C-alpha cells in the first residue's frame, strides 16, 4: 500500500474514536513520514509507535490524537509539551494552538526536531533542552500541558506552570505501563479523568523517574 492510501486508512480509523474535527484535520495535514527515521518511512501511517533512536519513540498516532483532543484547543492557547522526541506532536499542537513551547532532554533529538519543524515552516514553536526542573517555568503559565513520557505521579512542578482552568495530559503509573490522565486545574480541588491505559518511555527528572 502506498503512503497516501495508508494515511487515508489511518485517518479513517482515527475518526471512529476521535470526535474533534480540528485534531483530525491536523493529523491529516502533518507529514508523519518526515518525523520518523528513513528506514521506517513506509510504516509512518501504521497506528503504532516507532523507534527514533536513543531508546525513544514517536508515539502511536491514536495516542497523539487522544492526548491532543484532551487539551481542548480552540486556537488561542499557549501550550507546553514535555518530551519533544521527533517533533511530530509539537507540529500537531502548532496547527491547533497559538504558541508551543516544547522541551526535550536529549540534545540530539531536540536538534533534529528543530530542523524538521523549521523545514516545514513552523514559526510558532520554540524548542529547548530540558532543565533540571520539569517543564519550562519561564514560559508559564500555560493553557495546556502535554507530557509525552510516563511519570510516577502528577508532578507538582507542572501543575504550578498550568493556568487555573488549564488542562494537563500525562501518563501516570509504573515505568512500564500507565494510565493517561487529564487533570483540569481548579482553585480548590483539581479534576482528574482517566482516559485509559497506555505505555510510554519514562519521564526522567526531578519529581519523576531516575535515569
Ligand atoms: N512527543 C514525541 C514525538 O512526537 O515524537 C514523542 C516523545 S517520546 C515518547 C518521550 C520523550 O520524552 C523522549 O524523547 C525523552 O527523551 C523525553 N523526556 C523524558 N524525560 C524528559 C524530561 N524530563 N524533559 C524533557 N523531555 C523528556
If you measure from the C-alpha of residue 149 to the centroid of ligand 1, how many angstroms do you get, rounded to a whole number? Answer: 6
78: CB partners within 8 A, 6+ apart: 97, 98, 99, 100, 101, 139, 142, 143
Give the separation between CA 78 and CA 104, rounded to whole angstroms. 18
pLDDT band at 1 (very low <50, low <70, confident <90, very high): confident
Give the model's pLDDT for residue 167.
98
Q: Which tens digit of pLDDT belongs to each residue from 19-52?
A: 999 999 999 999 999 999 999 999 999 999 999 9
Whole-number percent of the chain with pLDDT over 90: 97
Assess whether 86 carries a catalytic annotation: no
Q: Which tens digit of pLDDT belongs to each residue from 52-80?
A: 999 999 999 999 999 999 999 999 999 99
Give the model's pLDDT for residue 132.
84
List of domains in the chain: 3-198 (3.40.50.150)
Average pLDDT, the chain: 97
**189 pLDDT above the threshold of 90:** yes
Question: Considering only CA atoms, which residue is closest to atom 2 of ligand 1?
Answer: 85
Residue 65: name the closest of 95, 103, 35 by CA: 95
If you measure from the C-alpha of residue 157 to the centroid of ligand 1, how many angstroms do you get, rounded to a whole number? Answer: 17
Phi/psi of residue 113, each to 5°? -65, -45
What distance lies between CA 95 and its chain's CA centroid?
A: 13
Mutate to test the pocket of ligand 1, among 44, 62, 83, 157 (most ligand atoms within 8 A of CB): 83
Q: Are 44 and 4 in contact (CB under 8 A)?
A: no
Q: Which tens digit of pLDDT belongs to each residue from 99-146?
A: 999 999 999 999 999 999 999 999 999 999 998 899 999 999 999 999
User: Does the pTM exceed 0.95?
Assistant: yes
Taken in order 119, 123, 129, 135, the sign of the CA dihedral is negative
| Number of neighbours of residue 22 by Cβ within 10 angstroms | 14
Average pLDDT over residues 74-95: 98
Give the model's pLDDT for residue 127.
98
Q: Are 159 and 183 in contact (CB under 8 A)?
A: yes
If you measure from the C-alpha of residue 104 to the centroid of ligand 1, how many angstroms do you get, rounded to a whole number? Answer: 6
Q: Tell me the H-state helices in 53-199.
A: 61-70, 88-96, 107-119, 156-159
pLDDT band at 17 (very low <50, low <70, confident <90, very high): very high
SS3 of 201, please?
coil
> Which residues partner with 192 through β-bridges?
183
Q: Which tens digit of pLDDT belongs to each residue from 161-180?
A: 999 999 999 999 999 999 99
Question: Considering only CA atoms, which residue is closest to atom 14 of ligand 1?
Answer: 85
Give the separation between CA 97 and CA 118, rounded to whole angstroms. 17
Amino acid at each position: 500500500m502506498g503512503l497516501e492510501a495508508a494515511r487515508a486508512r489511518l485517518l479513517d480509523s482515527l475518526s471512529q474514536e476521535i470526535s474533534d474535527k480540528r485534531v483530525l484535520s491536523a493529523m491529516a495535514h502533518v507529514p508523519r513520514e518526515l518525523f520518523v527515521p528513513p528506514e521506517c518511512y513506509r510504516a509512518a501511517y501504521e497506528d503504532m509507535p516507532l523507534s527514533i533512536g536513543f531508546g525513544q519513540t514517536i508515539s502511536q498516532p491514536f495516542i497523539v490524537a487522544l492526548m491532543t483532543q484532551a487539551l481542548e484547543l480552540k486556537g488561542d492557547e499557549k501550550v507546553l509539551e514535555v518530551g519533544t522526541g521527533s517533533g511530530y506532536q509539537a507540529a500537531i499542537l502548532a496547527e491547533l494552538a497559538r504558541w508551543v513551547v516544547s522541551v526535550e532532554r536529549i540534545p540530539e533529538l531536540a536538534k533534529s526536531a528543530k530542523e524538521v519543524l523549521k523545514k516545514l515552516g513552523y514559526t510558532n514553536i520554540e524548542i529547548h533542552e530540558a532543565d533540571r526542573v520539569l517543564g519550562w517555568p519561564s514560559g508559564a503559565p500555560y493553557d495546556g500541558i502535554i507530557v509525552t513520557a510516563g511519570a510516577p505521579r502528577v508532578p507538582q512542578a507542572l501543575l504550578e506552570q498550568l493556568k487555573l482552568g488549564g488542562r494537563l495530559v500525562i501518563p501516570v503509573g509504573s515505568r512500564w505501563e500507565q494510565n493517561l490522565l487529564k487533570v483540569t486545574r481548579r482553585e480548590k480541588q483539581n479534576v482528574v479523568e482517566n482516559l485509559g491505559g497506555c505505555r510510554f518511555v519514562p519521564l526522567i527528572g526531578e519529581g519523576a523517574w531516575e535515569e
